[in-house]
Amino acid sequence: MLLAEANTPVTDWIYTLVFMAVFVTTLMAGLWVVIARDVIRAGVSLFICLSGVAGIYFFLNAQFLAVVQIMVYVGGTTVLILFGVMLTNRAPVLTSRRATDRTLAGWLATVIVAAPLFVILVGRDLMEKKDVKTANGWFTMKEAAAQAPINTVALGDALLTSYILPFEIASLVLLVALVGSAYLARRREDESGIEGRLS
C-alpha cells in the first residue's frame, strides 16, 4: 500500500514522473532488443527491458510478481541467454543479419496490431479525459493499486484453493518439458541402432 497511499498533488506528480521514466526506459530497451545487430547488446537491452517490466509491476502494487520477474527473467532467463550466446560462439561479437525485405510488412503488421490497442488502452483516457472505469470496467492504474489486496498470503491462498488445479497442472507441464529437454539434449550415440522389434 506504499505507493497508493501517496495522494498529495506533489507526490502524485513525482509518482507520474517516475512511472513515465520506467515506462519509457522499458519501451526503448524493448525496441533496442529488436533492432540491435549485436546479440550481446540485444541481450543487455533485454535485461533492462525485463527489469523495467518488474518496475511497472511495482507501480501496480504487485510486489510479489515484480520480485518473481526479477528472479526468473532478469536473474535467470537473461543471464542464461547471455551465457548461451557467449559459450556457443567463437566469434567475439555476434551480429545478426537484418532481413530488409520484410521491413515494410513488419511495420505494417505492427501498425495494424498496435493502432487499435493504442486506441483501446490509451486513447480513451488521454483524449476523452473521461473516467472510464465504470463504463467499461477498466481499472485505472492507481485504482488498481489502491484496490488490490495482493500480498503473498493472499496469493498463496489463491494458488492453493481456487487455482489449485492450474497450479498442479503446471507441474505436469514442467515434467513434460523436463522429459523433452532431456531427450533432445541427450548424447546422440543411442540412435545408432534400432533395438528389438515391438510386440
Partner 1 sequence: MLLEAAETATNALQGVVGLPQESYRALAGIIGNDTLSYFAPELVICVAMLLVLLVDVSDKLRSPRNLMLVALVALAAPALMILGKWGGEALFFYPAWGNLAQYSNLEGHISLQPDSHMLVFDGFANFFKVFVLASGLITLGMIHLDKGTPRRSLGEMLTLLLGSVLGMMLLASATNLLMIYLSIEFMSLASFILVAFKRRDRKGTEGALKYMLFGAVSSGVMIYGISLLYGMAGTLDIALIGQRLAQVNDPLAIAMALMMVTVGFGYKMSIAPMHFWAPDAYEGAPTPVTAFLSVASKAAGFAVFIRFIDAMSAQSTGNALPIINWVSFVAVIGAVTMTVGNLTAIWQPNVKRMLAYSSIAHAGYLMIGAAVVAAGGEIGGEAGARIADVGGSATAFYLVAYCLMNFGAFAVVQVVANETGRDDMNAFDGLFKRNPTLAVVMAILLLSLLGIPPTFGFIGKARLFMAGLEAAQAGYPIMTVLLVIAAVNTTVSCYYYFRLIRGMFITPGEAATANRPLIVSNTGWLMAGGSAVLTLALFVAGSFFIGPADEARLKRRPHLEGAAMPQHDQGHVEVKRGDGSKG
Q: Which residues bind partner 1 (CB under 8 A)?
A: 116-117, 119-120, 133-139, 143, 146-147, 149, 154, 157-158, 160-166, 169-170, 172-173, 175-177, 179-184, 188, 190-191, 194-199
Q: State the nearest-atom distance from the C-beta of 134 to partner 1, in Å.
A: 8
**Cβ–Cβ < 8 Å for 46, 74:** no
d(CA 49, CA 28): 8
Least Å from the CB of residue 55 to partner 1: 18
Q: Which is nearer to partner 1, 93 or 175 (CB)?
A: 175
Q: Which is nearer to partner 1, 4 or 54 (CB)?
A: 4
Whose Cβ is closer to partner 1: residue 18's or residue 155's? Answer: 155
Q: Are 74 and 51 in contact (CB under 8 A)?
A: yes
Please provide the DSSP assignment of 28-48 as one string: HHHHHHHH-SBHHHHHHHHHH
Contact by Cβ (8 Å): 60, 144: yes
Q: Between 93 and 110, name the residue whose CB sits nearer to partner 1.
A: 110
Instruction: Give the sign of the dihedral formed by CA 98, CA 108, CA 22, CA 149.
Output: negative
CB of 81 to partner 1, least distance (A): 14
Minimum gap (Å) between residue 160 Cβ and partner 1: 8
